[in-house]
Homo-oligomer: A and B are copies of this chain.
Amino acid sequence: MTPREPELGEYESAAGTPAASSTAVEAPSDGAERAHVRFEPEGQEVRVPSGTPVFDAASWNGIAIDSTCGGHGTCKKCKVRVLEGELPISTVDPRAFSPEELSDGWRLACRAPARGELTIEVPPLQTRPKAALVGVGRHVILRPSVQKRHLVLEEPSLDDQRSDIQRVTDGLDDLEPRVELPVLRTLGKVLREANFDVTAVVCDDLLIDVEPGDTTARRFAMAFDLGTTTVVATLLDLETGQPMAVQSMLNRQQPFGADVISRVSATMLDEGALDALQARAQETLAQLTQEVCAEAGVDPGEVYEICICGNVTMTQMVLGMDPEPLSMAPFIVTTHEFPQLLAADLGVPVHARAPAFVFPSLGAYVGGDIVSGMLATGLTRDKRIRLFIDVGTNSEIALGNQDGVVATAAPAGPAFEAAQIRCGMRAAEGAIEGVALADDISLEVIGDIEPVGVCGSGLVDAVAELVRTGLLDHSGRFVDDEKAGEISPALAPRLTKIGEERVFVLSWKGDDPAASVYLTQRDIRELQFAKASIATGWKILFGELGMEPEEVSQVLLAGSFGQYLSPAAAVRIGLVPRIALPRIVSAGNVAGEGSKIAALSLRERAEAVSILNEVRYVELSGRSDFNDAFIDQLAFPG
């Protein structure tokens, strides 16, 4: 399974392109006042929360302003001129501009807070900014944390006894990085062996290496999506923003159980299990790293940073943090945000001092993978109200727009992974993944072979069709044989019994139902519980926003299961609100996309962290209205 390229749906065409001025994506809001900024000469107009730096207002809307420092006020390249409105003079401005320029309205965009009505002139770029299309039609301007500077330094003399590190940092005129012990250990030797012709490697505010000669053309990062089942790694060229190689494999923690609960349980039964689980997750990341680097011909030492997202259990385990408090009420995470880490802390064998960015989490069951997905879909920036559902054993649900988002987690159980389904199987060769009922049954089977079982999307499809035809009533019970005969004489024989249990045969093997691929009444109940859990989640979230489900502009189905789900079937069984089908979008592996976005742009990464403040986590466990809502949602829609 590899991350699919995102479909450029409604979101992209409406707002994702840089020149889409009239429908520009707007910045997240804390509910405060808005500034209106018009950028000349292109004429794009944007609305952002009052106080947003002009640089951010432009960047969030795909308008490129020069910068090499990532908005730290040090490179002094993000020069803009205010044509109408007021921009205060920051403490940095007098160092970048003459008094005449200041009075002409020149300011550094990264330090200029937008307020009220503004018209801003953006000078033509001196260097063409690079951008990449990532996520759900997101246009990401490249501003990676990893920067390189080729330095040809003067050799020291008795008249110039600057320390070795001072000589290097003096050469980095637009960066002021911190430095740590390991770089200092070898600095003297490296400088002298390279005749003071070196390349400084800076990650955010840290000098992580000084390499001999000019290595500026080579800089790479890795983006990981650390799933409970599948782990995906993408090697990114930071010069171009393009993926060089992608690989995925099963998480090596599988022997400890298929889902997070069984893996946490393992740590509670055995003192050594956490260490083993940590080691297996790290081995998985390490193997993928070796594979993508080998495939792309990149030395792992040229990979200077990693970004990783995962659910909270996966994240805490790979870092060796005790996951036990996650697994029982009141479901407490160790931390929402992670401190600055190294790739080595996650066992990833890239550059020894490569930092690791770990996506923050909203709650025990709305983790960094969902924050990453929100980043990739722009959920907290878009003006449309959108519903995001990552369908799985634990289903994460978020709802809202730039004015605020609420999120929750619904314990859907394993029905979508088909684990508790009698003839269930993973989405592998021989799995029924699509079902249509007419005069007869027609099946889509993975690999186009004889069916051997049914996977999650096949289950949803089958149930949706059974409901549509009336062979299942709205309470979720198979109709009796007489009714079935009335509905469809052709299909009625498939509704039969194995022992005392009513089943519907999807694919006969001979004429023995028990040898065939079928759905049981109990299977239907499993799916009902799962979809009711998810529907209860979004019902409560709509209630939190004071909205009706039908008012939603778009439903994004995320995750490896969500992308295979048929929108029609999802509506039919009540998994998603009843809206026009084109508004239900399969968003693909948005977690992996968000991880790549974070690797490509410091600014987007900061955005990911700010999502923590923009999204309100709603805990369902403690709610008195949960059970009533759940029972309401058990039935299939009429």
Interface residues, chain A, CB within 8 Å of chain B? 156-166, 178-181, 184-189, 192, 319-322, 324-325, 329-336, 338-339, 341, 345, 363-364, 617, 619, 621-622
Chain B residue nearest to A363 in the complex (CB): B161
Central interface residue in A156, A165, A184, by most chain B CB within 10 Å: A184
What are the residues of chain B within 8 A of A334 when measuring CB–CB?
163-165, 184, 187-188
Given contacts A160-B330, A165-B335, A184-B339, 6 further A-B contacts (CB under 8 A): A156-B332, A158-B621, A161-B617, A163-B332, A184-B319, A187-B334
Rounded to whole angstroms, the CA-CA distance of A320 and B183 in the bound complex is 11
Copy number in the complex reads: 2
Q: Are A333 and B621 closer than 8 Å at their CB atoms?
A: no
What are the residues of chain B within 8 A of A180 when measuring CB–CB?
339
Q: Are B159 and A622 closer than 8 Å at their CB atoms?
A: yes
Chain A contact surface mostly: loop
Q: Are A158 and B332 closer than 8 Å at their CB atoms?
A: no
Q: Are B339 and A157 closer than 8 Å at their CB atoms?
A: no
Instruction: Provide a sorted-by-A list of 25 A–B residue pairs whose CB atoms are within 8 angstroms.
Output: A156-B325, A158-B329, A158-B622, A159-B622, A160-B330, A161-B364, A163-B332, A163-B333, A163-B336, A164-B333, A166-B335, A178-B339, A179-B335, A181-B338, A184-B319, A184-B321, A184-B338, A184-B339, A185-B320, A187-B322, A188-B321, A188-B322, A189-B322, A189-B324, A192-B325
Rounded to whole angstroms, the CA-CA distance of A512 and B364 in the bound complex is 89
Assess A158 versus B619: contact at CB under 8 Å? Given A164-B333, A335-B163. Answer: yes
Chain B residue nearest to A165 in the complex (CB): B335
What are the residues of chain B within 8 A of A192 when measuring CB–CB?
325
Rounded to whole angstroms, the CA-CA distance of A329 and B192 in the bound complex is 13
Rounded to whole angstroms, the CA-CA distance of A622 and B159 in the bound complex is 8
Rounded to whole angstroms, the CA-CA distance of A164 and B320 in the bound complex is 15
Rounded to whole angstroms, the CA-CA distance of A622 and B325 in the bound complex is 65
Rounded to whole angstroms, the CA-CA distance of A437 and B352 in the bound complex is 66
CB distance from A198 to the nearest CB of B (A): 14
Chain B residue nearest to A345 in the complex (CB): B181
What are the residues of chain B within 8 A of A186 when measuring CB–CB?
322
Q: Are A158 and B330 closer than 8 Å at their CB atoms?
A: yes
From B156, B160, B335, contact of A184 by CB (8 A): B335
Q: Are A188 and B341 closer than 8 Å at their CB atoms?
A: no
Assess A161 versus B331: contact at CB under 8 Å? Given A181-B345, A324-B188, A341-B181. Answer: yes
What are the residues of chain B within 8 A of A329 when measuring CB–CB?
158
Rounded to whole angstroms, the CA-CA distance of A330 and B325 in the bound complex is 58
From B164, B178, B319, B321, contact of A332 by CB (8 A): B164
Q: Are A185 and B335 closer than 8 Å at their CB atoms?
A: no
From B157, B181, B332, contact of A161 by CB (8 A): B332
What are the residues of chain B within 8 A of A320 when measuring CB–CB?
185
